[in-house]
A and B are shown apart, each in its own frame.
Chain A
Amino acid sequence: MGTPHIRAEKGEIAERILLPGDPLRAKYIAEKFLENPVLFNDVRGILGYTGTYKGIPVSTMGTGMGVPSISIYVNELIEQYGVKTLIRVGTCGAMQREISIKDVIIASGCATDSGLHNNVFTGDFAALADFEMLNKAYELSTGRGMKTFVGPMLTSDMFYGEKSWGDERWAEYGILGGEMEGVALYTLAAKYKVRALTITTVSDSLFDKNEMTSEEREKSLNDMIELALDTVIEF
């Protein structure tokens, strides 16, 4: 049995999962960090693996880019495969001057320009991280000396968009960075009463024109993955 997008049997996916956007990053996580990783999905190239980390079963799978794509996978993982603890590990663009490339932003909540909440609420829904996971990730991150920011993230539909009214307001009101999936993960986690967190590394910034070397990219990615794994196994 599988779903339209994940060809796996129940039981092949662990209750805890790391969700990068990029399926090749899922492969990287599996091969570098998990013990005995087994591929459970390659439908549409969205590679998913299950292995163990420090002896505890953990899965990792790509989500694709954007709210619509991640929503498909997160719905199926929760409803069909019983996943209970989800940590998105991604990249983001920094929107505040004091945040630099390689810094970590953990999203305590997500603002959005997506219409996913249309017709669901009579008002603005605050899409929030699971507090206990957020707190644990923050403690682990600062404990190992990673420069870490906790605060609001903007989940946007358009990587290449048009300039529009209100663009500058997000940063004015303290939004730390922008990415493209967080609000969907948090909204679905709230609906299904599971735990979710979004941890990102800053890959680009409006203010920091530096670029990471490939070694820096890999190291900062490794630090974030380890942080996510050490957090996820606590829940």
Chain B
Amino acid sequence: MSTPHIRAEKGDIAKGVLLPGDPRRAKYIADNFLEDPVLFNDVRGMLGFTGMYKGKRLSVMGSGMGIPSASIYISELYKFFDVENIIRIGTCGSWIDNYGIGSVFLAQGCSTTSNINRKIFNGTFCPLADFSLLRTAYLKSIALGKKVKVGNMLSSDLFYPLADDPKFENWKKFGIMGVEMEGAGLYTAAMRFKKRALMICTVSDTKTDERDMTPEERETSLNDMIELALDTMWEFV
């Protein structure tokens, strides 16, 4: 059985899936961190692999960019492939001074400019990480000696804004640590399907750093984040 976007059988995907935006990062993780990785999907180039990590089976797949793309894969993984846990590992922009390239955020919850929840709720929803995944990742980061910041991330629809937003500064004023493009979609879906989700982000660009990451650096120097995600997921599969 497959879905329109993932050509795999139910058993091909593990209970825990790491979800980078970039399918080439999924391949990088499979090649460098998993034993005996097997490709389970290449529809639309959205590579997905299942392999072993420290004796346990888990999967990794790309999601594409933006809530609409990511939500397709997330919904299919949770609903049709019986995935229980998704950890998105992504790049983000940082809005915290002196917390630049390579720094790690754990998203306790996601604010968003997306409309998805306006249609569902007669009010303002609050997309949140699964607390047990969040807490495990936080404790693991301490054990690994890796500094993380836990808090509010903004999931934005537009990498390039269409026009100036006079209220934009308020996100930062109210404590948003950084910005990416999928988190609120992941958390909303997990809450809807009563599954677990967590987003771990690493900083790829800042307003203040000398330069942004090159695509090669983005692809490979995210190892701290990847290891944290794998070690956290390991506890849940």
Contact = CB atoms under 8 A, between A and B. Distances in A.
A164 B113 CA distance: 24
A219 to B, nearest CB: 26
A227 B160 CA distance: 46
B123 A114 contact: yes
Interface in A62-113: 108-113
B159 interface: no
Contact of A191 (B118, B123, B173, B194): B173
Given A111-B126, A131-B150, A173-B192, A123 B112 contact: yes
B45 interface: no
B125 A191 contact: no
A128 B152 CA distance: 7
Interface residues of B, number: 38
A170 interface: yes
A167 B120 CA distance: 10
Contacts, number: 115
A151 interface: yes
B123 A126 contact: no
Residue of B112, B125, B135 contacting most chain A CB atoms (<10 Å):
B125
A217 interface: no
A123 B110 CA distance: 11
B124 A164 contact: no
B123 A111 contact: yes
B109 interface: yes
Interface stretch (B48-56, B76-84, B163-171): B163-171
A27 B95 CA distance: 42
A205 interface: no
A120 interface: yes
Nearest to B187: A126
A114 to B, nearest CB: 7
B191 A173 contact: yes
Given A108-B128, A152-B128, A126 B109 contact: yes
Given A123-B114, A173-B188, A128 B122 contact: no
A159 interface: no
Given A121-B171, A172-B192, A126 B127 contact: yes
Main secondary structure of the interface of B (DSSP, over half): mixed
Given A169-B121, A190-B175, A131 B128 contact: no
Contacts of A38: none
B184 to A, nearest CB: 8
A119 B138 CA distance: 34
Nearest to B114: A123
Contacts of B184: 124, 126
Contacts of A170: 121
Contact of A122 (B113, B120, B121): B113
A110 B124 CA distance: 9
B225 to A, nearest CB: 18
Given A190-B152, A190-B174, A166 B123 contact: yes
Interface string B137-167: 0100000000000111010000000000101
B117 interface: yes
The 4 closest A-B pairs by CB, nearest first: A113-B123, A166-B122, A123-B113, A126-B109
28 contacts: A108-B128, A112-B123, A117-B124, A121-B170, A122-B167, A122-B168, A123-B154, A124-B112, A124-B125, A125-B171, A125-B174, A126-B111, A126-B112, A128-B108, A128-B126, A128-B128, A128-B152, A131-B150, A150-B131, A152-B128, A165-B122, A166-B120, A167-B122, A169-B120, A172-B192, A174-B192, A183-B124, A191-B174
Interface of B: 108-114, 117-118, 120-128, 131, 135, 138, 150-152, 154, 165, 167-168, 170-171, 173-175, 184, 188, 191-192, 194
Given A113-B122, A122-B165, A123-B112, 19 more contacts: A109-B128, A111-B124, A114-B124, A121-B170, A122-B168, A123-B114, A125-B111, A125-B171, A128-B109, A128-B128, A128-B152, A131-B138, A152-B126, A152-B128, A166-B120, A169-B120, A173-B192, A174-B192, A191-B175
